[in-house]
Amino acid sequence: MRQRIRPHMSAIEAQQLSRIYQVGDEEVRALDGLTISLERGRLAAVVGPSGSGKSTLMALLGGLDTPSSGTVSVYGQKLDGMDPVDLAAYRRSTVGFVFQDFFLLSHLTAVENVEVPLKLSQISRQERRARANELIKLVGLGHRGDHRPQQLSGGERQRVAIARALANRPKLLLADEPTGNLDEKTGHAITEILLNLNKEQDITVVLVTHNLELAEKTEIQFRLGGGKLQHTTKSTKEISSPVIEPKIDMAQDQSQEIVEPKEIEITVEATQSATKNIIILETGFCQTEATNIIHEIRPDLGIFQIPHLLNSLPFTVLENVESEKAEELRDRFEAAGCVVEVGNTSES
């Protein structure tokens, strides 16, 4: 097996990192003086119970949120104190995100979903289509590139999400519960893809997970509790080289397929009334205000869940909204510094 020789450079350096949220009269210390370091090219897991600070750490490493105190650097880029424009550039160029809920745009095909980050980076249409097709093949979906998310199984959707995360050739890949919505066999296949990316493409990969079996496949595990680092475990065994483009039992994977005729019928009816989809492309200068607006119009989303969702832009906030209401919401989001697209439902 090929042995990687890593230069002694940190991918991640966090010193006394704290993030404090004010919820009414209550102060919530999501992170409380956290210090961690991770060399470039490593495969690490962040584990701990719910509320331990795992997702907050991901948001800070991803440049979506900024710390209340302390410092955080990724590949030599100091994120604390970085202005919103530079943070947006950092997210596009340095980091890729993979999430439990995929966050694919329902009106785009698999290839078109992978193209979205490239479009935001102003890559030419020809170049981004070539790159998207390359990545779709890399994750083993070359035969499904023209399918929309509702035509794909859970495992296939997560493969598309991984391909999208790789679009701008990130140095750091952040994966938050990447197998959480998948059955065991499909989850193993997704794990193999992530391990392969770390070994073969030398991408630093950080997994946030409750799955201890998945965590044990990594080289380093950071266990959090109460917003603090409780302990660090380094693997003493050789991590086996994963198989490129793992093949999974499609019959098993298709058990997760979500093709719901009733939803398709609803979409057709919405098309007839010329409704709109509201999509956030960039959060701009005031993510807190944007979070408050989303929480107001989407009470089903928790106030702490929303910043986490915004890690994976573009994010479809609402679908099938009446045109007048959609324009009103666009004005509110734009006033909060967001870049918003309001598209006709019929375009999907």
What's the pLDDT at 236?
A: 60
Sketch out the chain's domains with CATH numbers. Answer: 10-256 (3.40.50.300), 261-347 (3.30.1390.10)
Mark out the alpha helices in the chain (DSSP H runs): 54-61, 84-93, 110-120, 125-138, 154-165, 184-200, 212-215, 250-253, 261-272, 287-297, 305-309, 323-335
Which range, of 26-35, 251-260, 310-319, averages the lowest pLDDT? 251-260
- Looking at per-residue confidence, does 321 or 204 come out higher? 204
8 Å CB contact between 186 and 253:
yes
Give this prediction's pTM: 0.66
pLDDT of 312? 65
215: which 2 tokens?
Answer: 């965590």
> pLDDT at position 178, please?
83
Q: Where are the beta strands (DSSP E) in 62-208?
A: 69-74, 77-78, 95-99, 172-176, 204-208
Q: Is 230 helix (H, G, I), strand (E, B) or coil?
A: strand
Average pLDDT score, the chain? 80
The H-or-E segment that residue 13 falls in is: strand 10-23
Q: What is the CA radius of gyration of the chain?
A: 20
pLDDT at residue 252 greater than cutoff 90: no
Q: Is the pLDDT of residue 154 over 70?
A: yes
| pLDDT, tens digit (0-9, with 9 covering 90-100), for 86-123 | 888 898 889 998 888 888 888 889 999 999 888 878 88
Phi, psi torsion values for 187, nearest 5 degrees: -60, -40
